[in-house]
Chains A and B, each alone.
Chain A
Amino acid sequence: MNIWRVLSLLFGLTMLAIALAPPLAQFAHNDFRGHMLQHLLLGMLAPLGLVFAAPVTLLLGALSASRARSIVIVLQSRPVHFVSHPVTALLLNVGGMYLLYLTPLYAATLDNHWLHALVHIHFILAGCLFTWAIAGPDPGPSRPSLYYRLVILFISMASHATLAKLMYAYGWPLDTPHDLTEIQAGAQLMYYGGDLAELLLLIALFCAWYRAHRHDGRRRERLLLR
Chain B
Amino acid sequence: MHDDNQPENAARRSLWSAALIGVGIMAAVDEIIFHQLLGWHHFYDGSTPVIGLMSDGFLHAAELIALVAGFFLLLDARRHRALMSSYVWAGFFFGAGAFQVFDGIIDHKVLRLHQIRYEVENLLIYDLAWNAVGLLLILIGWMIFRRGKNNTHVPNRATRS
Contact = CB atoms under 8 A, between A and B. Distances in A.
B57 interface: yes
Interface string A183-203: 000001001000100110011
Interface string B54-98: 101110111011001100100110010000000000000000000
Contact of A162 (B46, B56, B69): B56
B161 interface: no
A110 interface: no
Interface residues of A, number: 28
Given A150-B65, A159-B57, A198-B64, A166 B50 contact: yes
Contact of B43 (A158, A160, A165): A165
A162 B53 contact: yes
Contacts of B46: 169
Interface stretch (A16-24, A62-70, A208-216): A208-216
Contact of A202 (B53, B68, B75): B68
B60 A168 contact: no
Nearest to A191: B43
Given A161-B56, A162-B54, A213-B76, A169 B44 contact: yes
B44 A168 contact: yes
Contacts of B58: 158, 162
Given A168-B44, A169-B44, A199 B62 contact: no
A157 interface: yes
Contacts of A82: none
B37 interface: no
Nearest to B65: A154
B55 to A, nearest CB: 9
Given A158-B58, A162-B53, A209-B72, A202 B65 contact: yes
A188 B54 CA distance: 16
Contact of B57 (A150, A161, A216): A161
A158 B76 contact: no
A206 interface: yes
Contacts of A213: 76
A161 B61 contact: yes
B62 A154 contact: yes
B45 to A, nearest CB: 9
B72 A206 contact: yes
Contact of B48 (A161, A169, A191, A195): A169
A153 B61 CA distance: 9
Interface string A75-110: 000000000000000000000000000000000000
Contacts of B48: 169
Contacts of A198: 64
B38 interface: no
A206 B68 contact: yes
Contacts of B54: 158, 162
B124 interface: no
A154 B69 CA distance: 12
B64 A195 contact: yes
B56 A206 contact: no
Given A166-B53, A169-B44, A158 B68 contact: no
B154 interface: no
9 tightest A-B CB contacts, nearest first: A162-B57, A157-B61, A161-B57, A158-B61, A206-B72, A158-B58, A158-B57, A165-B53, A202-B68
Interface of A: 150, 153-155, 157-162, 165-166, 168-169, 188, 191, 195, 198-199, 202-203, 206, 209-210, 213-214, 216-217
6 contacts: A157-B57, A157-B60, A162-B56, A166-B53, A195-B60, A206-B68
